[in-house]
């Protein structure tokens, strides 16, 4: 009986080797993969100098900093901190608005149902991709050099960095719009611009509005750090206090940023519910 079963098992094993666990080749591949991973990890840790001593020193240094952070304190210049927060929110709002206004026509340019030429469509889209690769802080640093320190550089950086992102999203929204509504306008004799206004725009407008609100939220977060490179806002305050190691004030500012982000998120959610109903 058991011999029959053993023969059965052998027969099934021959027919479906994968059902009995990984094959020899598969096991070898996994093993090689694991070894390669460990070697890569070890090489990186060695390259970046992750010695136990350095880790220990760093962690104890961090502990000292954390201990000096509590209790958080507003310090003497709390008025400047509050002004920095206002500046950050203003920069985010203005930058997002400029980005949306510029990205709006660009989105139509990048949509393949508006600009039908494949080569033009492809090259416009690649331009969007190219500009998306640049982080907001790089823009901020460049604008600080161009227009000087201050929130103006921050506004321009937010706008410049988000234009390409928004243009791509808008273009995708326009491409996903239902073409029958524009066809209907054309069929009753509407010109192309009218077809876009009454056939396309009503479909994509809610998407654009949602994106606008989301941009305000996300840019409030990023506007809080642009000051690190001198582009205005609360980031400048935090960077200055870190330089002179006023850790209790640093924690206070971080907590204020958390509150600010939460407040902006709540307002944005309210507006979204009110206008889009979602």
Partner 1 sequence: MDGVWGDAPAGRGQRPRLAVTVASAELAFRARSLARRRATFGYGSVVLVLLAVSAVVSEVYPRSLIDGLPRVGEYFYKLLPTLQADALFAGTKTKGSFAYWMYRLDAWAWLLFETSQIAALATLMGAGLAGLACFPAAANLAPNRAVYLVCRRTLELFRTVPDIVYALILVWAFGVGPMAGIFAIALHTVGALGKLFAEVVENADMRPWEGVRAAGGNWVQAVRFAIVPQVAPNFLSYVLLRFEINVRGATVIGFVGAGGIGQELYVVISRNYYEEIGAIILLIVLVVAAIDLVSERLRNAVVGRE
Q: Contact between 238 and partner 1 (CB under 8 A)?
A: yes
- Which residue number, 113 or 150, has a Cβ lying nearer to partner 1? 150
The C-alpha atoms of residue 86 and residue 227 are separated, in whole angstroms, by: 13
- Which residue number, 102 or 186, has a Cβ lying nearer to partner 1? 102
- Which residue number, 57 or 179, has a Cβ lying nearer to partner 1? 57
The C-alpha atoms of residue 169 and residue 104 are separated, in whole angstroms, by: 10
- Which residue number, 39 or 130, has a Cβ lying nearer to partner 1? 130
Cβ contact 142:206 at 8 Å:
no
| Binding to partner 1, residues 17-76 (CB under 8 A) | 41, 44, 47-50, 54, 57-59, 61-62, 65
**Least distance (Å) between residue 216 CB and partner 1:** 11
Q: How many residues sit in the footprint of partner 1 (CB under 8 A)? A: 58
| Binding to partner 1, residues 113-142 (CB under 8 A) | 129-131, 133-135, 137-138, 141-142
Instruction: Report CA-CA distances (Å) from 88 to 38, 179, 198, 206, 234.
Output: 44, 40, 37, 26, 6
User: Locate tokens 């103006």: which residue?
Assistant: 152
Instruction: Report CA-CA distances (Å) from 82 to 86, 150, 159, 237, 245.
Output: 6, 16, 23, 10, 20
| Binding to partner 1, residues 131-190 (CB under 8 A) | 131, 133-135, 137-138, 141-143, 145-148, 150-152, 154-156
Cα angle, residue 214 at apex, residues 168 and 201 outer, rounded to 5°? 55
Instruction: Report CA-CA distances (Å) from 39 to 45, 159, 229.
Output: 10, 43, 37
Evaluated on CA atoms 107, 108, 114, 116, the torsion sign reads negative
- Which residue number, 24 or 53, has a Cβ lying nearer to partner 1? 53
**Least distance (Å) between residue 150 CB and partner 1:** 6
- For residue 155, give both structure tokens: 């506004």
Q: Contact between 242 and partner 1 (CB under 8 A)?
A: yes
Residues that bind partner 1 (CB under 8 A): 41, 44, 47-50, 54, 57-59, 61-62, 65, 86-87, 89-91, 93-94, 97, 129-131, 133-135, 137-138, 141-143, 145-148, 150-152, 154-156, 221-222, 224-225, 228-229, 232, 238-239, 242, 245, 250, 254, 257-258, 261
């Amino acid at each position: 009986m058991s011999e029959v079963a053993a023969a059965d098992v052998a027969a099934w094993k021959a027919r479906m080797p994968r059902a009995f666990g990984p094959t020899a080749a598969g096991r070898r591949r996994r093993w090689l993969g694991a070894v390669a991973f460990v070697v890569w990890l070890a090489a990186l840790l060695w390259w970046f100098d992750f010695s136990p001593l350095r880790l220990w020193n760093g962690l104890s240094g961090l502990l000292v900093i954390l201990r000096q952070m509590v209790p958080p304190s507003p310090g003497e210049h709390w008025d400047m901190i509050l002004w920095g927060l206002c500046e950050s929110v203003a920069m985010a709002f203005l930058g997002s608005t400029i980005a949306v206004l510029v990205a709006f026509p660009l989105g139509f340019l990048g949509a393949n149902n508006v600009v039908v030429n494949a080569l033009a469509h492809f090259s416009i889209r690649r331009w969007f991709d190219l500009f998306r690769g640049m982080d907001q802080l790089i823009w901020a640093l460049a604008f600080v050099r161009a227009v000087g320190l201050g929130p103006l550089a921050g506004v321009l950086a937010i706008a410049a960095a988000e234009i390409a992102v928004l243009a791509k999203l808008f273009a995708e929204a326009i491409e996903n719009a239902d073409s029958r509504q524009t066809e209907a306008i054309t069929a009753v004799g509407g010109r192309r611009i009218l077809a876009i206004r009454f056939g396309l725009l009503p479909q994509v407008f809610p998407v654009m509005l949602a994106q606008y609100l989301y941009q305000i939220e996300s840019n409030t977060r990023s506007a809080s750090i642009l000051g690190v490179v001198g582009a205005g806002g609360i980031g400048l305050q935090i960077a200055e206090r870190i330089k002179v190691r006023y850790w209790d004030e640093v924690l206070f500012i971080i907590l204020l940023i958390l509150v600010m982000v939460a407040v902006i998120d709540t307002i944005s959610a309210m507006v979204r519910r009110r206008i889009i109903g979602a």
